[in-house]
Structure 1
Amino acid sequence: MRQAVMTEPGKILFREVDVPEVGEGQIKIKIKNIGVCGSDIHVYHGQHPYTSYPVVQGHEISAEVIEVGKGVEGIEPGDRVTIQPQVVCGKCFPCQNGMYHVCEELKVMGFQTTGMASDYFVVDADKATILPESLSYEEGAMVEPLAVAVHAVRRVPSVEGLNVLVIGGGPIGNLVAQTAKAFGAANIVVSELSETRLKMAEQCGLDTINSKREDLVEGIGRHFGERKADVIFECVGSSFTVAQSIEVARKGSTVVIVGVVPDLTKVNMGFVQDHELTVLGSAMYQAVDFDRAVDLINAGKVDLKSLITNRVRFEDYAEAYSIIDNEKDRVMKVLIEME
């Protein structure tokens, strides 16, 4: 079978390897689509602190089950699935207390262990989420980023009836905003610099602030009035926007850091204390987030198809990275097509 290997930053080679055998409790899947995300780009540029080379990427996928191992129940050949890509120890404090997604020994397929950029892949059956027939394989490959958004919104006890500000209109920010809307938020606004991403948010039924043209504080007042934002989701992952999230927060509000921040950030902790802010981190997801993501798609409460801006053949894998590098703000989600 074909397998794409990143041998060093910026270099992807294809090799023929044996199709893996199914073990007890495992399933063999035929990969249909692979999504490319920001963390993949960091690996491509040699900027991911926890990934070494060579590495097989691919953690946002959709697939068809073609074989099940002994002891597997509830999954049959022909089922359509996506995969939760975490590999955890099951023994540490987080794993033993319902927080396996932040396992002390966490590995993620495509980063610290082999990803799914190949024709076939064998994985533990308990990592599979079955996709209903109503979902396309392309939508199935986007369940993983939607699960990131679902987990982020679920970090807040409830957003129902609240004013929600999302800073950053990229794929994750857009999905966080759509999820907050699906979960009952009263008003949702996306702050973004890119005209393309602003139009995409509006196409998905979201209000926007063009923070290149309008001061963010003024935009918040225009949309939310004196109450301002009850919850702010930071979905950029920069020192500037993290600090900005704190600075524009209303007294008693909640800030959720969703973006992956690569460097140390100076935060006005006196402001956090004086305004009695709740500041939360959000990392990855759990199986329940995958289930909720599938439910949202199946109910038509999120628009994924509009976010797919580019498709690339598996043989042209490296082109996906070039598209994202060269077109930046004009690109939302790039999918790799296996067939």
Structure 2
Amino acid sequence: MKQAIMLEPGRIEYRDVPVPEVGPGQIEVKIRKIGVCGSDIHVWHGKHPYTSYPVVQGHEVSAVVTKLGEGVTEFKVGDLVTIQPQVVCGKCYPCTHGLYNDCEELKVMGFQTTGMASEYFVVDAVKAIKLPDGMSDEHGAMIEPLAVACHAVRRFGDIAGKNVVVIGGGPIGNLVAQTAKAKGAAKVIITEISDYRLKVAEKCGLITVNPTQTTLRDAIRSAFGSDGADVIFECIGSPKTLEEAVEVARKGSDIIVVGVVPDLCPINMGFVQDHELRLIGSAMYRVEDYREAIELVGKGLIEFDALITHRVPFSDYAGAYRLIEEQKDKAMKVMIDMEK
């Protein structure tokens, strides 16, 4: 089978490799679609702190089951699935307490272990999640980033009736905002400096704010009055926007850190203490987040198509990264089409 291997930053080659044998409790799948995310781009540029080379990428996928290993009864050949890309130890405190996304020895397919950028992939059946009949391949590959959003909103708790701010209108920020709205938030505003991404957010039914035209503090006051925001989701990973989130937070409110912050961030902890703010990290997802993501899509509460802006054939995998560099904010979600 063909496999795309990133030998070093900015260099991908194709190799013919054998399809792994299917062991007990495993399934073989034929990959259909792969979404490219921001973390993949960090690897392309050699700036991901926890990835070494060579590496096979691909962790946002849809796939069709082609073979069943001994003892696998929950799937049948032909099922459309997505794959949880976490590889965990199963022994540490988080793993033994249902928090395997925080595994002390966590590896992620496409970063610290082999990803799914190949025609076929063999995986433990427990990592596969069946997708509903009729779901498209592209929407199936979008369940993973939506699970990130579901987990982030779950970290806050019951968001129904709450005032929500989402900083960042990229795919994850957009999906966090859509998820909060779908789960009954009173009002959701999303901030973004890209006019293109603001238009995409509007297509998704979201209230938008451009912080170059009004301050975040003024936007919150205009949207929520003196009540302010109950929760702010930081979905960029910028020390500047994280600092700003702390500065504008209402006393007794929450800030959920969803974006990956690559640098040390100076936070006014005296302000955090005095205002009784809660700074809460959100890392990846668990199976319940995938289930919720599928449920929200099934109810028609999530808009995916406006986010899928480009499609690239598997034969030009590197072209997906170059396209994102060239298009910048206009490349929201780029899909790798494994059939081409």
C-alpha offsets along residues 51-73 of structure 1, whole Å, 9 cap, x if unaligned?
Answer: 00000000000000011100112
- Give the aligned partner of residue 42 of structure 2: 42
**TM-score scaled by structure 2?**
0.99
Equivalent residue runs for 1:58-97 within 5 Å: 58-97=58-97
- Give the aligned partner of residue 54 of structure 1: 54
- Give the aligned partner of residue 116 of structure 2: 116
Is 1:327 the counterpart of 2:327 in the alignment?
Answer: yes
Please state how far the C-alpha of 1:326 moved relative to its aligned partner: 1.4
The code of the aligned residue for 1:278 comes to R
- Give the aligned partner of residue 245 of structure 2: 245
The code of the aligned residue for 1:68 comes to L
The code of the aligned residue for 1:54 comes to P
C-alpha offsets along residues 285-318 of structure 1, whole Å, 9 cap, x if unaligned?
Answer: 0011011111111111100111000000001101
- Give the aligned partner of residue 27 of structure 2: 27
Is 1:290 the counterpart of 2:293 in the alignment?
Answer: no
The code of the aligned residue for 1:111 comes to F
Please state how far the C-alpha of 1:216 moved relative to its aligned partner: 1.1
**TM-score scaled by structure 1?**
0.99
Is 1:9 the counterpart of 2:9 in the alignment?
Answer: yes
Equivalent residue runs for 1:186-335 within 5 Å: 186-335=186-335
| Worse overlay, 325-334 or 177-186 | 325-334
The code of the aligned residue for 1:112 comes to Q
Please state how far the C-alpha of 1:134 moved relative to its aligned partner: 2.6
The code of the aligned residue for 1:275 comes to H
CA contact (8 A) 1:134 1:298 kept: no
C-alpha offsets along residues 105-152 of structure 1, whole Å, 9 cap, x if unaligned?
Answer: 000000000000000000000001101123100000010000000000
Runs of 4 or more above 3 Å deviation? none
**SS of aligned partner of 1:302:** coil
Aligned-residue sequence identity (percent) comes to 63
Please state how far the C-alpha of 1:228 moved relative to its aligned partner: 1.1
C-alpha offsets along residues 63-99 of structure 1, whole Å, 9 cap, x if unaligned?
Answer: 0001110011211100000000000000011111111
Unaligned runs of 5+ in 1: none
CA distance in 1, matches of 2:203, 2:186: 18
Aligned residue pair count: 339
**SS of aligned partner of 2:323:** helix
The code of the aligned residue for 2:118 comes to S
Unaligned runs of 5+ in 2: none
Equivalent residue runs for 1:146-185 within 5 Å: 146-185=146-185
CA RMSD in angstroms comes to 0.6
**SS of aligned partner of 1:155:** helix
CA contact (8 A) 1:58 1:110 kept: yes
CA contact (8 A) 1:25 1:125 kept: yes
